[in-house]
Chain A
């Protein structure tokens, strides 16, 4: 589904990713862990197409298409979802308006029929229910006045409504208490653990992986994947620390 080969990039002239390769197939859940400054968020933003995250070498294909040839909104329409570590606040635009425009933009781009108001509300209710988010919250402006946990929950509602093929979730677990972590974990499983979908979880900690069991765990350090393994690698990292595992 996603094939990254020898990716290098820079931000404002500073090299961050230094030859990163990763293959994710349909039906798989991958976790990328790594110390601060390793390039984890940079990887997520680069795949999402954030301005100023310039690709300087390597390739990434998504379902066989050149990912970097697509604009950010085209990547979304192709089925890529980027979960933000710090979801952005948009005063004056309600979540419902935001999501309906997003979904219908995607559907237009794919040549599908747009959802009308009634159809959209029905879908939004179902997905909000899945994440235990009150519909009243969705009437409020995007992320404005939301607590850290509410923002992450709202991100997962967005993911449920947009129904992507591949979700790249950048520290979706940060800022969550134990109960919210459980709900969000269950949401990710319900929405994304399917044979035709895949997830790339970016996290510092093992705790989210207790709820969303990864098939593969990778360690990212200094812009490269330095070690890959199964779920046991996350446990080893948790007990030994990054420095130990990276040095080994």
Chain B
């Protein structure tokens, strides 16, 4: 087996990445392969909280067979470079759902890269990503939805929102659609914003100190990402990790 060459910035999927951090950890581990059999329902999750300065790259290659469903929950908060990619192929009438959050500070680069292929008709997919970035952190979402020629009645959405806590932080959001079928519904929205100053003053006028007020607004911003995690203990673990990370940023 030959090692692949280190990617460069010319490679679109690595355009906003931290290639120095990547070089330090090259080669990255092999992709995790997940296959969901026909008619089955499965879910998985990743709490990416690698140590400070570490490089963490997780690649998932996911095949969802006809009529199957796969749900993934992701919290991407650790490492100098934290990169999680999904290459998903959807069978007929199947469903893929990604709920993800990025919370970064310092000099972190945190990325979610997705490529969702609707290879067959009647499949649906949903991607919801919320990013909170402070200090000099960079948060990236690159997501392509590819609809094959025969994949009629595809229904796909991408909802990407980023919140910048400091003017020095960066968010890149690039939803992409490549559609070869003609009866397709693809919705995508991407926004980058800052905390609502009016809300912050309103909260201060009621006595909330700035850290409490910001934390409450940020909790509201990411709320929903982990709401449908079925196991209570896992949901609580996600929420606690997100809250602890927020505590280091406000």
Contact = CB atoms under 8 A, between A and B. Distances in A.
A162 B202 contact: no
Interface string A42-84: 0000001111000000000000000000011101110001101
Given A72-B201, A101-B212, A92 B223 contact: yes
A77 B196 CA distance: 22
On chain B, which size bracket covers the interface?
Answer: 20 to 34
A88 B213 CA distance: 14
Decide if the interface of chain B is mainly helix, strand, loop or mixed: helix
B210 interface: yes
A89 B208 CA distance: 16
B221 A73 contact: no
Nearest to A80: B205
Interface of A: 48-51, 71-73, 75-77, 81-82, 84, 87-93, 97-99, 101-103, 105-106, 109, 158, 162
B198 interface: yes
Interface in B209-249: 209-210, 212-213, 216-217, 219-221, 223
Contacts of B203: 73, 90, 98, 101-102
Interface of B: 196-199, 201-210, 212-213, 216-217, 219-221, 223
Given A90-B199, A92-B221, A102-B203, A97 B216 contact: yes
Contacts, number: 77
Contact of B207 (A84, A88, A93, A106): A106
A136 B226 CA distance: 24
Task: Kindly list the 8 A-B residue pairs having the minimum CB-CB distance in the complex, ordered from nearest.
Answer: A92-B220, A76-B207, A106-B207, A102-B206, A72-B204, A88-B202, A73-B204, A102-B207
A93 B216 contact: yes
B204 to A, nearest CB: 4
B191 to A, nearest CB: 14
